[in-house]
Amino acid sequence: YTILSKVHSDRNVYPSAGVLFVHVLEREYFKGEFPPYPKPGEISNDPITFNTNLMGYPDRPGWLRYIQRTPYSDGVLYGSPTVENVGKPTIIEITAYNRRTFETARHNLIINIMSAEDFPLPYQAEFFIRNMNVEEMLASEVLGDFLGAVKNVWQPERLNAINITSALDRGGRVPLPINDMKEGVYVMVGADVPFSSCLREVENPQNQLRCSQEMEPVITCDKKFRTQFHIDWCKISLVDNTKQVSTFQEVVRGEGILPDGGEYKPPSDTLKSRDYYSDFLITLAVPSAIALVLFLILAYIMCCRREGVEKRNMQTPDIQLVHHSAIQKSTKELRDMSKNREIAWPLSTLPVFHPVTGEIVPPLHSDTYDNTSMPLMQTQQ
């Protein structure tokens, strides 16, 4: 049901269609591809990351996924090949990046998908395991323990793991980093016999009511999983392909395989030259021309359309001009007469403080003194 192998240059693998395929990219192997540490004898623990893509394309096939938690952990390729890819060799380019020396190493993985004789298995069940991450579930011993527990409660003759999907790929949220919380994983298995009575207990009205109230249903065989796997029985999906009817399914889910969007068609290497002269005219010339026209119109209005004094006088009645002229002449005469008057300067304009001592100084002349011709400012000795 699973293939675990160590990568080699141009490695050939032969997975079966509709059966879970797992391929581990081990960091220990790629460490030999990079130069050792400067000091001899030191243990090499370089951070290594992997990039996987279909040869000639930027991404992997729709059925193949890849995961690597940290640069210090192994990478894992996993997925469930489809029947449409049977007989077509799929070449996956694996590029390893050494994050310390920035060097790379490339290997090819040739996947030859074979047709499974005992597939498809008509009875499929999908379990949601809450206390597991996808890379933990992909380990051979953990997946083997889970299939063993399923086989004990189902009792089939043939049992295969069909697919494994992270809960994050189903719209789940990233868990908080407290209490060692896990993101959860969906595991789909297939068998050749109908579902056991234990698995069908989720169809009971009492259990369905408890699920609707967000309570755990009562399942008799839950203790066979509880020691290692915490299963959410409200999210279990039982599919009988012989009847094409889902016996219990909250949401109709697929097999976790991404839909085929067709082949990637990159743009042409030869691009046609483009003339930007029209864009220049539209962007700069047209706004500049409009601004110039507006400036000329405003200049004509402000400079060439002024009425002036002569036009104002021509439009004003004669009697009004005579009155205005008489008022201006009288005002001018009054101003000339006010300039020739000689009056006594007020005492407030005379100095009352000594310029040196600051003491109060009496006026220079008495009140009876004729000061009509006294200048405003006294000559300072």
- Domain with 78 in it: what CATH number? 2.60.40.10
| Strand 48-54 relative to strand 64-67, pairing | unpaired
- Total domains, the chain: 2
**Both 144 and 173 in a single domain?**
yes
At 100 the pLDDT is 84
Q: How confident is the model at residue 127 (pLDDT cuts 50, 70, 90)?
A: very high
Q: Which residues pair with 107 in a beta bridge?
A: 94
pLDDT at 4: 39
Residue 18 lies in a domain: yes
Residue 31 lies in a domain: yes
Q: How many helices (H) and strands (E) does the chain have?
A: 9, 12
The domain boundary residue, chosen from 113, 144, 176: 113
* Cβ atoms of 296 and 288 closer than 8 Å: no
Task: Classify residue 300: in a domain, yes or no.
Answer: no
For residue 11, pLDDT over 70 is answered with yes
Confidence of residue 77 (pLDDT cuts 50, 70, 90): very high
Same domain, 47 and 132: no
**CA–CA gap between residue 202 and residue 217 (Å, rounded):** 7
Rounded CA separation 358/73 (Å): 95
53 and 153 both lie in a single domain: no
The residue range of the domain holding 182 is: 123-240
Residue 328 included in any domain: no
- Same domain for 145 and 68? no
Q: Say if residue 42's pLDDT is above 50.
A: yes
Q: What's the pLDDT at 247?
A: 46
pLDDT digits (tens, 9 = 90+) for 340-369: 765 555 555 555 666 666 666 665 555 555
Q: Is 293 within a domain?
A: no
Over pLDDT 70: what percentage of the chain?
78
Segment 227-267, tens digit of pLDDT:
888 898 988 888 888 775 444 445 455 555 666 667 777 77
Domain boundary among 183, 215, 240: 240
Instruction: Please say which residue of 88, 113, 138 terminates a domain.
Output: 113
Task: Assess if residue 260 is contained within a domain.
Answer: no
Domain match, 139 and 160 both: yes
- Supply the pLDDT for residue 1: 39
Same domain for 52 and 88? yes
Residue 280 lies in a domain: no
| Amino acid 5: pLDDT | 41
Q: Are residues 105 and 171 in the same domain?
A: no
On the 0-12 / 13-18 / 19+ scale of CB atoms within 10 A, 124 is: buried
Structure tokens, 125: 């069940």
User: What's the pLDDT tens digit per position in 286-337?
Assistant: 899 999 999 999 998 888 776 667 777 777 788 887 888 899 899 988 888 8
Both 130 and 214 in one domain: the answer is yes
Q: Are residues 53 and 144 in the same domain?
A: no
Indicate whether 174 and 225 sit together in one domain: yes
Does residue 35 lie within any of the structural domains? yes
Spell out the residues 6+ positions from residue 80 whose beta carbon is closer than 8 angstroms to its own.
18, 19, 20, 21, 63, 162, 163, 255, 256, 257
Whether 173 and 109 map to the same domain: the answer is no
Specify the pLDDT at position 246. Answer: 47
